[in-house]
Amino acid sequence: MPFAFHEPRHRRPSVAGRAYLVGGDGLDPWKNPYMFLPRPAQLPKIVSYGADGKEGGTGDDADLVHDPDA
């Protein structure tokens, strides 16, 4: 299954000046929750652990990572 992260279309500033997602169910294409991995002084990485919902894997089970600071 092809998959790509896209810049969210619905964003609003939070009280701290950061953006957060509005709407959606927070689930990846396999109905597993996206993981938001915080990092000091950077935006969080957004991770999908693939079809199996576990770290690592190949094919549909491979992790998908979006790093907005890369």
The mean pLDDT value of the chain amounts to 75
Single pTM value for the model: 0.62
- What is the sign, positive or negative, of the torsion defined by CA atoms of 24, 42, 68, 9? positive
Task: Give the contacts of 41 (CB within 8 A, at least 6 positions apart).
Answer: none
Domain boundaries, given as residue ranges, for the chain: 25-66
pLDDT level of residue 21 (50, 70, 90 thresholds): low
- Residue 55 is predicted with a pLDDT of 93
**Nearest residue to 35 via CA among 27, 12, 60, 43:** 27
Cβ–Cβ < 8 Å for 47, 65: yes
